[in-house]
Every structure is written in C-alpha cells, then in structure tokens.
Homo-oligomer: A and B are copies of this chain.
Amino acid sequence: MTKENITIAALRLFLLRGYKYVSLVDIAGEAGITKGGIYHYFGSKEEVLCTALHYLFDRFEAKYQELFSCSQGVREILDTVIAEREMERYTYQLLGIRKGDYRLNFAGLILEVIQNFPEIQGRIDRNHALFCQAIETKLKQAMEQGEIRSDLDSHALAILILTMLNGQNSLGEQLNTPLLRKQMMDNLWQLLDRK
C-alpha cells in the first residue's frame, strides 16, 4: 500500500519534472511519509525510478492490448489514441490527477532515462515493440477486412504512428491543440483510406 503510494507519487513527480529534478524529500512529501521511510521499500532512488517505470509500462501494455484488440474500427481507435490522446488521459487517471493540475511529460522522462540508465533501456524498447505489435496486428486485420488499403507495409505504418505519438509530446501548446491533432489524424486517414 505505502509502497504503491510511493511508486505513484514518484511517477507523478518524475513525469512532471524529470528524474533529476525530483528529490527524495519531494517524493516523500507527495507520498505522505518521510525521506527515510522510502528506504524501507527501495534500496535507492534509482530503484524507485525502475519500479515506477515498470509499474507504468505494465499498465500501458495492458492498455495497448485493450485498445487495439477491441472490436472498434481502426479509424475510431486511431482517433482515440492520436486525436484524443487516450494514453495521456489514462496516465492522469492512473496517477489520480486531473488533467488541468499538472502537465506530464512522458517523452522527456523516457529520453532522460534512455540516456542515463542503461538497465531500463530494455524495458523501454520492449514497451515500444509491444505497442508497435498491437497496432500492426490491428492494421493487418483491417487490411484483410478491406477496412483500409492493403498495399502499404503494416510494420512501417505502425512505427509511423508510434513516431507521431511520441513526437506530439515535444510540441508546445500552440502546435498541440485538439483541432490540429484532429487534422493530423485526417491526413493520416487520407493515407490509409481505401479511397
């Protein structure tokens, strides 16, 4: 219970500011305990990071399955993921925060971690791979059922979609509005649509 509190508090702060900008005092305060208490559950700050990211990825990966193996059409799913930023919404819900309160930065944390904590790289890569796989499977289905055009490479398409999702995080607020996301999605659909 307390361990999960700490994990979630840490995750919230790491996503908000980045690993190096969050101190154990911050985490302890957010989790409602004291600094030393964290060491009852974790051996080091880095272990908190690992646990937090594994926690997040476990849930993300279940969420990917749920999203892409449902019976909805590809268009609806992509709308949910790209235009409505479902993963971001889900993260807020997971961490128990309302969207207006904080501005999370998932991509930033991942990039910080990738550069400086080699031992978590494997998990990040696996997460990316699972996400691609989920999209790709759905795309293949859709191609077989004539829902989208079938002369494109489904693997490359899946990566393109992942790339777009990651790229959205780097944009400032002016370039990341609901309207613009919807237009990007429309463009993507122009590409996929079977005419």
Contact = CB atoms under 8 A, between A and B. Distances in A.
Given A114-B172, A164-B163, A153 B183 contact: yes
Contact of A114 (B105, B129, B165, B188): B105
Interface in A144-195: 152-153, 155-157, 159-160, 162-172, 174-175, 180, 183-184, 186-188, 190-191
A111 B114 contact: no
Interface stretch (A14-22, A51-59, A73-81): A14-22
A159 B172 contact: no
A121 B172 CA distance: 8
Contact of A166 (B121, B124, B171): B171
Counted per complex, copies of this chain come to 4
A187 B153 CA distance: 8
Most buried by B among A17, A20, A159: A159
Contacts of A188: 160, 191
Given A110-B170, A159-B171, A160-B188, 18 more contacts: A114-B170, A125-B174, A152-B190, A153-B187, A156-B183, A156-B186, A160-B187, A162-B167, A162-B171, A163-B163, A163-B164, A163-B168, A164-B164, A165-B167, A166-B166, A166-B170, A167-B168, A191-B191
Given A167-B167, A170-B111, A187 B152 contact: yes
Interface string A13-50: 00011101100000000000000000000000000000
A71 interface: no
Interface residues of A, number: 48
Given A157-B187, A172-B124, A107 B111 contact: yes
Interface in A106-147: 107-108, 110-112, 114-116, 121, 124-125, 128-129, 132
A156 B186 CA distance: 9
